[in-house]
């Protein structure tokens, strides 16, 4: 028995962004933030699976999906975080899900407005890796000619 595909949830403009929401459901809410070159429809299958647990809202980040480009041209993580905060101010506190770029945006939202975030779920977030890496140093050292160290053939 194969399940029918889950249809995309209807969408509407909330402030300056387009949002797809599950039909009215539980009082608990979740906001889903897509990655670079994604859209709210990236989340519709998961929203369908969780519709009996949370009312879901998937945002089209500014300039993606059906959301218009940001008026100020700001496509930074901070700019996207402001859009998500605007949605959360409309929906109220919610569980926040973020994938890739959406993960970085979700972290920024949680750090900036923790009172709006009930929990944070990150899926392959695009976060900076601040651990020192020695590989590039070894490659650079290997590129130094041997004679620079005083070694001479023969």
Q: Is 16 left (phi over 0), alpha (psi -120 to 50) or beta?
A: alpha
Residue 21 appears among annotated catalytic residues = no
Q: Are strands 11-14 and 17-21 parallel, antiparallel or unpaired?
A: antiparallel
Distance in angstroms (rounded) separating the CA atoms of residues 67 and 17:
5
Candidate list 18, 34, 57, 95, residue with the active-site label = 34
Q: Is 100 a catalytic residue?
A: yes
The residues, ordered by sequence, that sit 6+ positions from 14 with a Cβ below 8 Å of its Cβ are 86, 87, 90
Distance (Å, rounded) from C-alpha 95 to C-alpha 44?
Answer: 16
Catalytic residue among 18, 21, 57, 100: 100
Q: Which residues are catalytic?
A: 34, 100
């Amino acid at each position: 028995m194969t399940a029918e595909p889950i249809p995309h949830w209807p969408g509407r403009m909330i402030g300056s962004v387009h949002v797809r929401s599950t039909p009215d459901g539980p009082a608990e809410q979740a906001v889903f933030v897509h990655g670079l070159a994604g859209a709210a429809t990236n989340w519709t299958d998961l929203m369908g699976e969780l519709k009996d647990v949370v009312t879901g809202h998937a945002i089209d980040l500014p300039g993606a999906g059906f959301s218009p480009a940001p008026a100020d041209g700001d496509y930074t993580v901070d700019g996207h975080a402001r859009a998500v905060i605007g949605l959360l101010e409309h929906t109220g506190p919610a569980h926040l899900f973020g994938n890739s770029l959406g993960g970085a945006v979700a972290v920024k939202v949680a750090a900036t407005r923790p009172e709006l975030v009930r929990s944070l779920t990150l899926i392959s977030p695009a976060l900076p890796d601040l651990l020192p890496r020695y590989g590039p140093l070894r490659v650079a050292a290997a590129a130094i000619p041997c004679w620079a160290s005083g070694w001479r053939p023969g």
